[in-house]
Structure 1
Amino acid sequence: MSIKIIADRSVCVGSGNCAFTAPELFDQSEEDGTVLVIKDVPDPDQEEAAREAVAYCPSAALSLHE
């Protein structure tokens, strides 16, 4: 079963934890630093990194739909 990354940019504080933790899945907007999801359905070998990025998000802007 695959997971899907959900990002709520309205609550993102631009800490960059997600992009640092999983740069293959996340980036930051050049305009305001908020999260950009590069790949919303990670490959199976990227799911652990996606879960870590969600856990490290200080504003709870990220979630996973399973």
Structure 2
Amino acid sequence: MEKATLSVDELAQYLGISRPKAYELVHMAGFPKISIGRRIIVPKEALLAWMDREAGTAAEMQ
């Protein structure tokens, strides 16, 4: 069974970005994340929806 969430380290690997960039991303307003104490997890489905929205926004700007 595939995990439904990603840790920040897993997010960095999944997106092919550095760990510090992944932390910048999860602290951006509107980025889908769940904070549990000091731990941050990212729901995969919400991440994919966010990426689709962001890609659409970027395409509209061009």
TM over 0.5: no
- Which of the pair has the greater relative contact order for Cα pairs under 8 Å at 6+ separation? 1
Taking structure 2 as the reference length, the TM-score comes to 0.30
Taking structure 1 as the reference length, the TM-score comes to 0.29
Choose between structure 1 and 2: higher helix proportion: 2
Max Rg structure: 2
